[in-house]
A and B are shown apart, each in its own frame.
Chain A
Amino acid sequence: MSYRRRKGARIRPYTFTGGRTRSRHPLMVQTLVSVADAGATPPTNLLPESQNIYRMCRETRSVAEIAAELKIPMGVTQVLLSDLADQGHVYIHPTITGHSPSENQVLERALRGLERLFQ
């Protein structure tokens, strides 16, 4: 079979979707990432940018915070993080979207947190 139609030929100027995430938690701008061992040094075979990301992830951070701090475009940050996760270097935390009823408990925690802060 040959596919003559080109897929995905249109590239948007900004894309926050990463595109490479498969069977783990999705990487969105608010998604938290962390390394398992805070004392670990970044593997030397990584790109310099990835080593910097690795260092930042010794504390749990969001994709947006990493991109802003390291001044790497959001889309690039997501690709590099995606690779780091594929290689088992970083853990991608679950993100609560509130779209499923099973997340209501977390939303209620969010509401209580807001009430505590701003009552």
Chain B
Amino acid sequence: MDSNVSSNNSPGSTSLVSTKIVIAGGFGAGKTTLVSSVSEIPPVSTEAVMTEASREHDDTTVTPDKVTTTVAMDFGRLTLDQELIMYMFGTPGQARFWFMWDDIVRGAVGAVIVVDSRRLADSFDAVDYFEKHQTIPYVVALNKFDGELGYTIEQVREALEIGPGVPIIDFDARDRRSSGGVLTCLLEYALSRPKSGELVG
């Protein structure tokens, strides 16, 4: 592992640049789990003020061991090469937090929508947001809580009204490689899409 240079970045090394991806999805879908699986630092939460309020509104019956939700945002970090750091920002998935999303999404290379495969409806808000705004590329990552999917990928696409080109993959958020594969998929997809400055056609 010679790629981890983050802890001894020489100060003033102005060639260091950063980038960001967004981890979206419903309450308890596995966003923080994904970030912890891949991040080189423990996920950091920057705000916790809405924890109580969220607990009242969110459905905790399906994941009863869940005590906190992603409240403002939490993030992890990956040093991708000597001069490039990628941050992952997890956002609260519910539509009432949309005012925060614009700021988190601005400047992001892309987004992952984490979907609890047992509760597809919980990700409507997130899919809605990225389908409507169309600002950044996104992929859908189905977190297989029970170890199996129960649907075909195309059934999921239809149920959530996900656009035709958008990659949908299944994964296990607790698994480092599996979660890393989701990030790789997003970057491949982002690179394959025409940019605004390019001619299409």
Given that A16-B104, A96-B17, A100-B196 are contacting pairs, would A117 and B9 also be in contact in the complex, using a CB cutoff of 8 Å? no
B109→A98 contact, CB < 8 A: yes
A107→B16 contact, CB < 8 A: no
Count A-B pairs with CB separation below 8 Å: 164
A110→B46 contact, CB < 8 A: no
Specify which of A12, A65, A107 lies most central, judged by the most chain B CB atoms within 10 Å of its CB: A107
**Chain B residues within 8 Å of A100, by CB:** 195-197
The answer, among A14, A28, A113, for a CB contact under 8 Å with B84, is A113
Specify which of B38, B46, B183, B190 lies most central, judged by the most chain A CB atoms within 10 Å of its CB: B46
**Chain A residues within 8 Å of B94, by CB:** none
Question: Does A64 have its Cβ within 8 Å of any Cβ on chain B?
Answer: yes
Q: What count of chain B residues pass the 8 Å CB interface test? A: 54
Of A1-9, A34-42, A81-89, the one with at least 4 CB within 8 A of chain B = A34-42
Question: Does B158 have its Cβ within 8 Å of any Cβ on chain A?
Answer: no
Interface of B is mostly: mixed
A14→B99 contact, CB < 8 A: yes
Binding site for A on B (CB under 8 A): 3, 9-14, 16-20, 38, 44-47, 72-73, 75, 77-81, 84-87, 89, 99-100, 103-104, 106-110, 176-177, 179-181, 183-184, 187-188, 190-191, 195-198
Binding site for B on A (CB under 8 A): 12-17, 26, 28-32, 34-38, 57-60, 62, 64-65, 67-68, 73-74, 91, 93-102, 104, 106-118
Given contacts A30-B20, A30-B87, A93-B16, 10 further A-B pairs with CB under 8 A are A28-B107, A29-B89, A30-B89, A34-B14, A35-B12, A59-B9, A64-B75, A111-B184, A113-B79, A114-B187
